[in-house]
Each structure stands twice: as structure tokens, then as C-alpha cells.
Structure 1
């Protein structure tokens, strides 16, 4: 067995040269592991974490404990430590083992979805099994190896956006519907801005009303001056298209906003009609023959 533990305690927060803080991380286990593991085993893991080099805030780090030749594979125990202020989920991650000269000793991509979300300021133990075809030396040297993420990795942090500027008099039932819609949307990565269609319908006054939910996963307000939009019917025919101009419109950092856009049709209906099979595309397109698209509005 090749053991590698750094001899430095991680029991405080202190300033470092680049103005980022060194952060402590605590043991985090999956529910099953937490239930079956004894207190003694947990104490051993906590001691291993305490001996690792400190990590900086906003850093996701991998630290190796041992590399063991198990026959057809090399078992490598690591801790993935999350120095972010929010949880992080990893999917397909490339790991590389190198020596002090920078030579690559092993390289393999692992699917880490089963780890779930690693909470903020926590460390999760993981065993990686490198296939022998991905190990380029006969043996991993005992005192000269290091495991890390491939430098090309882009770890994405998930963001949970909450609504802003909902009407104060919104009905409870309606708010629940909007909340459920937000929860069911694909996860939002930090740095992303998304626009999702909540509903399309025709109002009694003849307007085709498009309700969108915009989510801002960046740390800065996103301002929109214009948004192109085309509406297609169930057959994929473009029935309306317009460039909406927005005034003083923005979505705050890590927030979601409900927006309504209306295309007048000149029709009059007895009741509102939902257009469940219709769709929206955010670009201008040629409109099929029909009533002139002369008036549009947004709010």
C-alpha cells in the first residue's frame, strides 16, 4: 500500500497571500455510509481529513491518501473537499496521478454522480479504481505521487434561484404552481442565464399570452433591452413573431422572474384557452400567412 498524508492540521481559518481564506472542512458521508459506519471508523476518517493541507475558499480539491495495487486495478483513496459556500455535484471527472517531475503515471475519467451533492465546507471520502490500461507505470512510487483533477476540468456549482417581484396579492394556489414549476426545471449552473416557457394561451381579449420564467445564475444583475420571440402552433407553423423592447428590465443575481408577453390577434373569445401543444423560440422568424402581427406588448 502506498500511503500519502500531508502533516498539517486544518483547525482554523486564516488569511493567505491572495486574500482568500483557508477553510476547514468536516466529514460528509452518504446516508448509507453514515448509517453503517462505526464511530471508530468515522474518527479515523476525521483524523485523515485533519492531516491534509488546508484548502482555500471557493476551491474544490482532491487529496490522495493511498494508492494500492489490487491486481487488475489500482485502488486510490481520496478526499474530495468542497471549499465553496454552496454544495457541489460532480459528474464525469478526469483524474490524473503524477510524480514530482510532472510525469503522468495514470489517467482515467470517473463518473461521480453517485456521490450526490457534496455540502459546502465538507470532505467526502472516495475510492477510485484505475484500470491497469490507464496506469502507465508498473508501480506507483510510495513517496512520489500526487492525484488531482485534470487541469482542464470545469467544476460547476449548482444555483437555486428564488422568485423576485411576484405580485404581493398573488393567490396561494397560483404561487404554489409557480414554485413547483421552478423546482422541476433543470438544475441551474452558476454563471448561466435561462429562459423557460411556463405557459402559452389565448385570453378572452384575443391576446396570445406567453408566460416565461427567467433565471439568473450569475453574481451580477442581468439586464435585457430586447428579446426576439416567435410562437409556433402544434404543427410547427410560425403564427406570431416580434422583437419585444423592454424598459428598465433586469433579473437580480440568483433570482428568477416571471414575465408576460402578449401578441394581439384581433379575436374575441368567451373564455381563456390554453395552448399546451404550442411552443416558443427566441428568434425572429417569418410568419405564415394570416392576420397581420401589428401589435405586441410585454410586462
Structure 2
């Protein structure tokens, strides 16, 4: 086994106008419950010994390489120096020596790594096929693993609510928070509208409540929203282009918005229309 570690006396320093950020251990939920406290301490010690990384960097640092016969097993730490969650796809990696010579190259699919929280480090074992390695053995104390060329990195955003009513009940807030937490993650630059509920009220209005999320880098102003309500058989019940006044969503935030369609129905109690759906577009008009 060839092990490589470097001492890092400080976990966050500033020099040459560069800010270096600390990274903390992050494990997948399935690993969090099975990894022992002793093993976690070992992980944390190894992370402390890694060289510092700058704010905004993705870093891969090797700990050891072990010859398995047909493969080289490597233990690495993937470190996210960004302030956003990060998901990785196909990543080309190089094993190089101190002269910058390539000892091996292989593309790894790192989707199984899951979402990397901001400023976190996650251990991973990678296996280089010997067909992808140019040398018989990895030289002791003269190797490192680096990123190679273009690769697939996706920053994911988990917006938080803004603009909630000041008098909102705690129970209602918890329900909205749970709904927001369970929505699919957004990629950086995306905007989404998700339906929270559809129901018909005692006053006869069909009320659509939705959650809008802004994962772009700028505040987003919304002045018009097309809304079409469909019943359980996907038949159009109501449709309208709603105009909003002074409605905006800041970057990385989510807001609740209600849309009401008047009807002549007057139920005795509010009724949830659980099998109904909403399309945030107007129906297409067939031209004859």
C-alpha cells in the first residue's frame, strides 16, 4: 500500500488574497448509521491532514493506492469548496507524479456519491483498471490524483421560504417546510412552480396553492402566471392568465402563491380535490 498525506497546520488561512475554507466530514445517510465512531475519527483526522482548498473549488485528494492485481484501489476524499450543494456525474481523473507525468487515466461515474453539502468532504474508494495505468507500480510518495479536463458538475440549490405571513400558524409553517424539503432539488439557474394543494372552498372558489422556487443567481419578478386546472380525468375545468403585482422571489428563496377560480358551487365545508392537477400553462387552441 502506498499512502500519501500532507500536514495542514491551519484549516482556514488567508494568503495572497485567497481564502481557504475548512471542510467537514459528510457521509451518506446509509453510511452514517453503520460507520463506527472510531472510523469517523480516522476520517476526520485524515481530512485535517489534507492540504487546504480555496473557496469555490472542487478537490480530490488521494490517501493511498493499493495493488489488487488487476486493479489499483485508491482511497480519496472528494471535497466541495463551494457554498452550494454539489452533485457529480462522469469525472475523468488522472494519477500523476511530481513531474506532472500521467501514470493513469480513467473516467468515474460519481453519482453514487450523492449530494455533497457546502464545504464538506466525503471518503470514497475508486478502482483504476490496470489497462488504464501506464506503469507497473505506483511510486511511493510520488503520486497524486487530479481532475482532468471537462467534467460534469451540477450545483444544486435548496431554496428556503421568504414572505410567509407573519401570523401563519406554527403547524401550517411546519407543513409548508416539510413540503419544500421533499421537493426535488433544483439545479443552479432553474426556476420551478410546484402545486401544494387544490381545493374548493365554501365561498365557491377553486383555490390553487403553489410554491415557487428561484435557484437563479438573481431576484426574479413574476407578473403573469398561466394556470389551468384539470380534473381526475385530465379534463380542463378552469384556466386563466393571472396577473401579479409587485411579486418577486429572491435568489435561493421560495414563496407561496394562491390562485382562485370562482364557481357557482357552494359546498358546506372546504373540500380537497386530491385527484386533480394543475398545469402552469394555458390550453392550446386548435386552429381549424
The TM-score with structure 2 as length reference comes to 0.80
Whether contact under 8 Å (2:57, 2:80) holds in the other structure is yes
Whether contact under 8 Å (1:197, 1:280) holds in the other structure is yes
Question: Residues 100-132 of structure 1: CA distance to partner in whole angstroms, max 9, x if unpaired?
Answer: 66758221324453x565554343333212234
Question: Residues 247-290 of structure 1: CA distance to partner in whole angstroms, max 9, x if unpaired?
Answer: 211112222211001222343333322211111112211489xx
Evaluate the alpha carbon distance shift between residue 12 and residue 211 of structure 1 in structure 2; reply closer, same or farther with a 3 A threshold: closer
Question: Secondary structure at the residue paired with 2:245?
Answer: strand
Whether contact under 8 Å (2:89, 2:110) holds in the other structure is yes
Structure 2 unaligned residues grouped into runs of 5+: none
Question: Residues 144-170 of structure 1: CA distance to partner in whole angstroms, max 9, x if unpaired?
Answer: 754234543343344332222222222
Taking the TM superposition and a 5 Å limit, the aligned residue runs for 1:85-234 are 85=83, 88=85, 90=87, 92-99=89-96, 105-111=104-110, 113=112, 118-132=116-130, 135-139=132-136, 141-142=138-139, 145-234=143-232
Whether contact under 8 Å (1:197, 1:212) holds in the other structure is yes
Question: Secondary structure at the residue paired with 2:163?
Answer: coil
Q: Which residue of 1 aligns with 2:14?
A: 14
Question: Secondary structure at the residue paired with 2:108?
Answer: strand
Question: Secondary structure at the residue paired with 1:236?
Answer: coil
Q: Which residue of 1 aligns with 2:76?
A: 78
Aligned-pair CA distance for 1:22? 2.3
Evaluate the alpha carbon distance shift between residue 261 and residue 22 of structure 1 in structure 2; reply closer, same or farther with a 3 A threshold: same
Q: Which residue of 2 aligns with 1:60?
A: 58
Does residue 35 in structure 1 map to residue 34 in structure 2? no
Aligned-pair CA distance for 1:194? 1.8
Evaluate the alpha carbon distance shift between residue 138 and residue 103 of structure 1 in structure 2; reply closer, same or farther with a 3 A threshold: closer
Aligned-pair CA distance for 1:140? 5.5
**Take 1:10 and 1:149, find their aligned partners in 2: how far apart are those partners?**
24
Aligned-pair CA distance for 1:23? 2.5
Aligned-pair CA distance for 1:43? 7.9
**Take 1:261 and 1:190, find their aligned partners in 2: how far apart are those partners?**
27
Evaluate the alpha carbon distance shift between residue 11 and residue 255 of structure 1 in structure 2; reply closer, same or farther with a 3 A threshold: closer
Whether contact under 8 Å (1:67, 1:75) holds in the other structure is yes
**Take 1:279 and 1:269, find their aligned partners in 2: how far apart are those partners?**
20
C-alpha RMSD of the superposition: 3.3
**Take 2:210 and 2:40, find their aligned partners in 1: how far apart are those partners?**
50
Question: Residues 195-221 of structure 1: CA distance to partner in whole angstroms, max 9, x if unpaired?
Answer: 110011122232221100112223421
Deviation larger for 147-156 or 197-206: 147-156
Deviation larger for 215-224 or 204-213: 215-224
**Take 2:182 and 2:124, find their aligned partners in 1: how far apart are those partners?**
30
Whether contact under 8 Å (1:108, 1:130) holds in the other structure is no
Structure 1 unaligned residues grouped into runs of 5+: 289-299
Question: Secondary structure at the residue paired with 1:78?
Answer: strand
**Take 1:43 and 1:111, find their aligned partners in 2: how far apart are those partners?**
21
Match of 1:273 among 271, 274, 282: 271
